[in-house]
Amino acid sequence: MAKLTIADLKKIKEKVQSETALREGGQRAKVTVHMGTCGIAAGARSVMDSLMSEIAEAGVSDVMVTTSGCAGMCSKEPMVTVELIGQEPIIYGTMDANKMRQVFKRHVLLGEVQTMFVKEGGIHMKVFRSHLLICGGTGCHASGSLKVKQALQEEIGKRGLSEEVRVVETGCNGFCALGPIMVVYPEGVIYVSIKPEDTPELVEEHLVKGRILERLLYKEPATQEVIPQMHEIPFFALQDLRVLRNRGRIDPESIDEAIARDGYAGMAKALTEMTPEQIIKEVLDSGLRGRGGAGFPTGLKWKFCATAHGDVKYVLCNADEGDPGAFMDRSVLEADPHAVLEGMVIAAKAIGTKQGYIYCRAEYPLAIHRLTIAINQAKEYGLLGKDILGTGLDFDLEIYQGAGAFVCGEETALMTSIEGKRGMPRPRPPFPAISGLWGKPSVLNNVETFANIGQIILNGASWYSSIGTERSKGTKVFALTGDVNNVGLVEVPMGTTLGQIVFDIGGGIPKGKKFKAAQLGGPSGGCIPAEHLNTPIDFERVAELGAIMGSGGMIVMNEDKCAVDMARFFMDFVQDESCGKCTPCREGTKRMLDILTN
């Protein structure tokens, strides 16, 4: 396939947005006025003015108006696409102000396609009346989502609905405790804990008769209130999705669906409009700090590497994630791998490198599978490899599979492992930004950090830094697990209190038990007890309480759990995973474990 250009990205985005418009929700209709140079020259602005005037006069608020660049059929400009939820998008050609008024009044408001204008130059696009997005993350796979998907497809086929209903396997939806999960669009109804034997009734009720199947809906733990709409469930409604913005919304094995939701748009901007210095400044100004645990300013790390002397440099992604109870990075890779690739390409331009590695533990087979597909798709489109987007940037990526050693999550041990040696930490300084992989200047960030980069470049540093606390900007993804009703993946602004996460989003403690503590930061972290439930969670406040942010594991304990047992569990883990290089760790952890065991 020929390499893509910026114009090609825009065409893919527009096409797939039309095909997936059902999933957006909240609007009855979407009207796109194509405003490329050819469209504007042919009168697209007057068409837009006519449309906006009609919307204002009609007083409607459920019609979304968007614009796009060139649609590629210049002789048919001005062009307008009308999408009514549940119907095929219609593209009208050779439009003018009068035609636009008629299309709005008859098609947008009344649903009557104006065939005379379609014949003049428009085209029909085939879409489905319903999209069934079934969670395909590791958690839902483990609870049987693949069997549910197969049963759905078979039942839909039996009823002759295959041309009307589309089944899409997504990445992790985040609501892990209630899997298998499926969201039906355009209604946005979420069904939980589905079994294969439920599918005949589900298809009959929802897709044939148009009735919600209440017994498979979510029930709020405290009140047992039934909530059909996903966006009304507190677990989803109280989150602020940046890193996880595509979770459960796209097919992670489709690069086109990623592009339709602004995938690679930040990269395109960085490569065509910004210098390396401007990229680094934008990341610095955003306040983004490394999400792997240490919280070091990402832009500063990139700046050190960019100014380091070296004819060869590397960009590395840490996807090792060995903390017990942590599954943030795995879920991002399974649900939105292209966001990570995009961030790494932007970093490559910022520091001046042609090669990158993603270090992912082999125990993450689904993440590796989808990463491999994403890399191959990006190479096919020319978004990785030689002369990316015709900008002269060469950058390639490889996946290095780790053997599961916890110590290889440490940056220098990770690099030593990629070099083919036993993964052992080495003294610092020199830091990796000066002397890293094979002694060359290297930037290492984790999955969540890279997944932020594209959106920061696309939307600007101020967009990112507008939420969070003074020194901890943006959002943080937590793997909420343990004694909590809504086990799953949570993304909240920095500064959200522990109580809000556990009780408002997490739904509180099962069986009416009391909250005892939350363990944060993995084996190197600590416990935050009940008296600090109102503490805002950010890098500084968590450290003040004797824990660390870590990569984002948050294990909730109820009143019956023993803190000594928890400490012993983590000390057993640390003692087993110690690399043994230094005496205090090799011998000290064993003695500490003996004390706790006794």
Residues 369-385 have pLDDT tens digits of 999 999 999 999 999 99
What is the pLDDT confidence band of residue 17, given thresholds at 50, 70 and 90? confident
Structure tokens, 451: 């997944």
Burial status of residue 479 (CB atoms within 10 A of its CB: 0-12, 13-18, 19 or more): buried
- Please, what is the end-to-end C-alpha distance for the chain in angstroms? 65
Lowest pLDDT segment from 235-239, 322-326, 378-382: 322-326
Question: Does position 449 have pLDDT exceeding 90, yes or no?
Answer: yes
What is the pLDDT confidence band of residue 2, given thresholds at 50, 70 and 90? low
Q: What pLDDT score does 469 carry?
A: 94
Lowest pLDDT segment from 90-94, 164-168, 202-206, 592-596: 90-94
| Segment 474-507, tens digit of pLDDT | 999 999 999 999 999 999 999 999 999 999 999 9
| Residue labelled with tokens 């909250």 | 515
Helix axes 276-286, 298-307, angle to 10 degrees: 150
Contact 547, 498 (CB under 8 A): no
Question: Does position 509 have pLDDT exceeding 70, yes or no?
Answer: yes
Mean pLDDT of 365-369: 95
Question: Does position 179 have pLDDT exceeding 80, yes or no?
Answer: yes
What is the pLDDT confidence band of residue 112, given thresholds at 50, 70 and 90? confident
* Rounded CA separation 572/561 (Å): 17
Identify the H or E element spanning 361. strand 355-361
Contact 342, 262 (CB under 8 A): no
Closest among 506, 457, 106 to 269, alpha carbons compared = 457
Whether the bond between 186 and the residue before it is cis, its omega within 30 degrees of 0, is yes
* Rounded CA separation 21/34 (Å): 17
Question: Does position 274 have pLDDT exceeding 90, yes or no?
Answer: yes
Q: What pLDDT score does 121 carry?
A: 47
Work out the mean pLDDT of the chain and round it to a whole number.
91
What is the pLDDT confidence band of residue 8, given thresholds at 50, 70 and 90? confident
Mean pLDDT of 411-430: 93
Mean pLDDT of 261-273: 96
Of residues 290 and 14, more confidently modeled: 290
What is the pLDDT confidence band of residue 414, given thresholds at 50, 70 and 90? very high
Mean pLDDT of 442-451: 96
Question: Does position 323 have pLDDT exceeding 90, yes or no?
Answer: no
Q: What pLDDT score does 24 carry?
A: 73
> Which range, 220-229, 239-248, 319-328, is most confident?
239-248
Mean pLDDT of 53-72: 82
Q: What percent of the chain has pLDDT over 70?
A: 96
| Segment 552-591, tens digit of pLDDT | 899 999 999 999 999 999 999 989 888 888 888 889 999 9
Question: Does position 122 have pLDDT exceeding 80, yes or no?
Answer: no
What is the pLDDT confidence band of residue 71, given thresholds at 50, 70 and 90? low
Cα–chain-centroid distance for residue 561? 33
Of residues 295 and 354, more confidently modeled: 354
What is the pLDDT confidence band of residue 87, given thresholds at 50, 70 and 90? low
3-state secondary structure of 535: coil
